[in-house]
Amino acid sequence: MSMFLLRWSLGVVLTLTLIPLAWGAVAAEPGTLDNNCFACHSDPAKLIPAIREVMGCAEAIPASGASEGEG
Amino acid sequence: MEQLAPHEKMFVDPAFAEDANHGSIGCHECHGGNPAEPDYLAAHNGVVRDPTFPDPGPVCGDCHPDIVEKSRASLHATLHPFTRMIDARSGSDSPEQHVIVDKTRQAHCGACHSSCGQCHVSRPTYVGGGLLNMHFFERNPPWREVCTACHGSRIEKEYLGENKGVPPDVHWRKRFFRCIKCHSGEEMHADASGAANRYQAPDAPKCIQCHASIYDDAAPSAEQHRMHKDKLSCQVCHAVSYKNCYDCHFALSRTGEKFFINKKSELDFKIGLNPLRSDARPERFAVLRHVPVDRNSFRYYADNALPHFDALPTWKYATPHNIQRRTPQNAACNGCHGNENLFLLESDVAPEDRIANKNVTVPLEMIPKRIEPGVSGRGAEQAKPSGGSQ
């Protein structure tokens, strides 16, 4: 009986420990899935070539001129 | 305002992930897309650049429900007065034509809106967008990148003194006030659905909120302030020349790009009859600014699209942002009294626009009479002709 209780308790503890860990692996916590976003959006060396590819720019990306609102 | 290079617009500081308020929210929870997808093009499928427009509820509403609820109907979100003004001029005689006008308004005027994200995270899309501070949320939006990015050609130039010969606003020159000093978050977020124009929006600033003591005996020029109370708007005495725009037309380029041409804009100063006279704004005279509208503004899309053009004046109540303590018109009584040049007369208005402006032009007999020396004893000396101010 005591062995059964011990195993049961161990099972509960493990379950309660593993569920948050498993959730953390799939949820978009910083440092996990979002790393894929940050990998580019926080690294100009990757971001600039990607933008060039999307924009079809072979060379430097031009910055457009100063703007002026109409208000 | 300098534009950002494309990569600068979307560079995110890795430290943003540690931001106490917003850093723990996954990118895709607001922007969509699929961060698990290794190919960056596939990962961006369904990505929304500004998830706070048109409805900020799903992304901002959980934590900021009150602000979201009000700001859905704010002036910056709805541009509600634009709709009212254009509808009043287009009328409802022809439902087909009204559809064209409405689509044109949405395409051209409607692009000039803002949102939670376009004030607190990025520059407004209308001026090219771009993150303000590497995706950190700015509680107080930086005014040069957000406010005057859109309100540039009139407000910014007036306020900073960038119109030739016109000094900066005293609130900038002496106190370096930023927009938010007068235009609070409460005003920006306020539900303005019941406002016919921006001056009726809740929490709009009024000079008297800071200058409540101007009528006190000890206040400088207290007598003048009392004498003119409820007769003149503050700007009649304290603003100087400001920009007036005429004949704005909008169309599509050969490649389908939207554009507009403003055929004429000039500095001028005109006092007219207050078109918004009410208990809240009881003054008889107010400064008026010519707005860019023209009866043919929509001509590219439809002929005679504004058949009721005369329903509203083209000279509108204005609060130029170039306030001065001393101005040519307040330097002496006769700077204004008897000075016809300051007033919007019928002859100042294009003949075809005189009906539209009949309620705001000043009849000659309403111009305050010149005060002759010795009559009032209140300094009827000649106004100084200088355009300068202190």
User: Which residue ranges make up each domain of chain B?
Assistant: 206-390
**How many inter-chain contacts (A to B, CB under 8 Å) are there?**
102
Q: Per-residue pLDDT tens for B171-198?
A: 999 999 999 999 999 999 999 998 999 9
Amino acid at the residue B98: H
Q: How many Å apart are CA A33 and CA A26, to the nearest integer?
A: 8
**Strand partners for B251:** B259
Q: Which pLDDT value is given to residue B386?
A: 34
Mean pLDDT of chain B: 92
Q: Which pLDDT value is given to residue B373?
A: 79
Q: Which pLDDT value is given to residue B381?
A: 45
Q: Per-residue pLDDT tens for B365-376?
A: 999 999 987 765
Residues sharing a CB contact under 8 Å with residue B343, sequence separation 6 or more, in sequence order: B270, B271, B272, B362, B367
Mean pLDDT in residue range B59-64: 96
Q: Which pLDDT value is given to residue A31?
A: 44
A56-65, B113-122, B150-159: range with lowest mean pLDDT:
A56-65
CA dihedral B280, B309, B298, B351 (to 10 degrees): -110
> Which candidate in B7, B9, B258 is best for mutational testing of the A interface (most A CBs within 10 A)?
B7
For residue A36, what are its two tokens? 């894929």
From residue A4, alpha-carbon distances to A9, A12, A13 in Å are 9, 12, 14
Q: Which pLDDT value is given to residue B190?
A: 97
Query: Which pLDDT band holds residue B320 (cuts at 50, 70, 90)?
Result: very high
DSSP state, residue A24: H
Mean pLDDT in residue range A58-66: 54
Query: Which pLDDT band holds residue B312 (cuts at 50, 70, 90)?
Result: very high
Contact B155/A at CB under 8 A:
yes
Contacts of A23 in chain B (CB under 8 A): none
Mean pLDDT in residue range B242-247: 95
Give kind and range of the element (H or E) at residue A44: helix A44-55
Q: Which pLDDT value is given to residue B357?
A: 98
Angle at B166 between CA B156 and CA B208, to 5 degrees: 65
Contacts of A64 in chain B (CB under 8 A): 3, 128
**Strand partners for B252:** B258
CB contact under 8 A, A69 and B10: no
Q: Chain A: residue nearest B18 by CA?
A: A30
Pick A41's closest partner by Cβ from B11, B41, B127.
B11
Residue B119: is it exposed, middle or buried by C-beta count within 10 angstroms (0-12/13-18/19+)?
Answer: buried
CB contact under 8 A, B5 and A63: yes
Share of chain B above pLDDT 90, in %: 83
Q: Which pLDDT value is given to residue A70?
A: 56
Contacts of B149 in chain A (CB under 8 A): 67, 69
DSSP state, residue A64: P
Neighbours of B69 (CB within 10 A): 14
Residue A22, pLDDT above cutoff 80: no
Mean pLDDT of chain A: 68
Quick one: three-class SS letters along chain B? CCCCCHHHHCCCCHHHHHCCCCCCCCHHHHHCCCCCCCCHHHHCCCCCCCCCCCCCHHHHCCCCHHHHHHHCCCHHHHCHHHHHHHHHHHCCCCHHHHHHHHHHHHHHHHHCCCCCHHHHCECCHHHCCCECCCCCCCCCCCCCCCHHHHCHHHHHHHHHCCCCCCCCCHHHHCCCCCHHHHCCHHHHHCCCCCCCCHHHCCCCCCHHHCCHHHHCCCCCCHHHHHHHCCCECHHHHHCCCEEEEEEEEEEECCCCCEEEEEEEEEEECEEEECCCCCCCCCCCEEEEEECCCCCCCCCCCCCCCCCCHHHCCCEEECCCCCCCCCCCCCCCHHHHCCCHHHECCHHHCCHHHCCCCCCCCCCHHHCCCCCCCCCCCCCCCCCCCCCCCC
Contact B377/A at CB under 8 A:
no
Residue B62, pLDDT above cutoff 90: yes
CB contact under 8 A, A38 and B4: no
Pick A34's closest partner by Cβ from B5, B27, B128.
B27
CB contact under 8 A, A69 and B127: yes
Residue A30, pLDDT above cutoff 60: no
Mean pLDDT in residue range A48-54: 90
Residue B322, pLDDT above cutoff 70: yes
Query: Which pLDDT band holds residue B344 (cuts at 50, 70, 90)?
Result: very high
Residue B90, pLDDT above cutoff 90: yes
From A1's Cα to the closest Cα of chain B, the distance in A is 45
From residue B7, alpha-carbon distances to A37, B52, B137, B207 in Å are 14, 22, 19, 42
For residue B227, what are its two tokens? 């004498």
Mean pLDDT in residue range A33-54: 88
Both ends of chain A: CA-CA distance in Å?
A: 80
Q: Per-residue pLDDT tens for B129-173?
A: 999 999 999 999 999 999 999 999 999 999 999 999 999 999 999
Q: How many Å apart are CA B355 and CA B351, to the nearest integer?
A: 8
> Which candidate in A23, A41, A51, A53 is best for mutational testing of the B interface (most B CBs within 10 A)?
A41
Amino acid at the residue B336: C
